[in-house]
Structure 1
Amino acid sequence: MAVTENNSVQEYKAIVSVLENYVEGLRTGNIERLKKSFHQDAIMYGYWEEYFIEGGISNLYDSVEKHGAAPHFSTHIDILDKTENTALARIRYERNAADKDGVDYHSLIKVKGEWKVISKLFQISVKQY
């Protein structure tokens, strides 16, 4: 059975909109806004420098609560692949709320016609000047 792809510009814009909402939630420190981008059962795994972080997406909300807004947050979003109901995206960023740089990989799924991030894989590096 072949996978049907819907690669319309509108679908790509819908995915980018979810990721831009995530970025703006981080920039402003708005946890309620962040929650709109994630599936309620989303997970996250990755490294904050040398520390391994794992578990539910509530870890992200806790981090934003701890570190606050990131007014100088700079990002670049790439959609790496997309099918009819799934997508994989990369967000490279500089100067998060803790003044760190890194990269996120987001797996998205379309549920009831709406794109949501279902998993976040990340690496936050030591700030280098």
Structure 2
Amino acid sequence: MSKNIKTIPTSEYEEVIRIVQEYYVDGLRVGSTATVAKSFHKDATMYGLTLDGDLLGGPVKNLYNYMDQHGDAPKIKTRLDIVGITPTTAVVKVDMENDAAGSDYTDFHTMIKLDGKWQIVAKVFHTYQS
């Protein structure tokens, strides 16, 4: 019989959500690319489809450029859900309304725990019609 061991403490779930909330969401709210960058690995990527159906993708720098263009998002509303988690990986769903351009999105953030720190390594998103 295998051991019935809890492998993921609740503190890991809390830390994953904290990183996404404090750095990603709160950074978007105040328009701080420096804060948002704290949630991402330096080599992170992002991909998604624009409303025109065009693929937008590449380095996370594209997100920072979008933020520089559109500014802060004081009316942003989000719901964060952990889709899955292991000792070193996690996937977080971010349901977002009213970003800086007034758009709504669903993001999926793939995270990895490196050197004891959770970081987003990939973001894929869906854009909704406003």
Q: Same fold (TM over 0.5)?
A: yes
- Provide the TM-score with structure 2 as the length reference: 0.92
Q: Which runs of 5 or more residues in structure 1 are unaligned?
A: none
Please tell me the root mean square deviation across aligned C-alpha atoms, in Å: 1.3
Number of residue pairs the alignment of both structures matches: 124
For 2:84, the equivalent position in structure 1 comes to 81
Q: CA deviation at 1:124?
A: 1.3
What SS does the aligned partner of 1:49 have? Answer: coil
Following superposition of structure 1 onto structure 2, how do residues 29-40 of structure 1 map, counting pairs within 5 Å? 29-40=31-42
What SS does the aligned partner of 1:71 have? Answer: coil
Q: Distance in 2 between matches of 1:25 and 1:6?
A: 31
For 1:60, the equivalent position in structure 2 comes to 63
The question of whether the paired residues in 2 share the 8 Å contact of 1:102 and 1:125 is answered with: yes
- Provide the TM-score with structure 1 as the length reference: 0.92
Identity %: 35
Following superposition of structure 1 onto structure 2, how do residues 13-28 of structure 1 map, counting pairs within 5 Å? 13-20=14-21, 21-28=23-30
Match for 2:14: what amino acid? K
For 1:106, the equivalent position in structure 2 comes to 109
Q: Please say which structure displays the higher CA radius of gyration.
A: 2
For 1:96, the equivalent position in structure 2 comes to 99
Q: Distance in 1 between matches of 2:64 and 2:117?
A: 21
Over 2 Å off, 4+ runs: none
Q: Distance in 1 between matches of 2:13 and 2:72?
A: 27
Of the candidates 115, 120, 123, which is equivalent to residue 120 of structure 1? 123
Q: Distance in 1 between matches of 2:50 and 2:111?
A: 22
Q: Distance in 1 between matches of 2:25 and 2:71?
A: 13
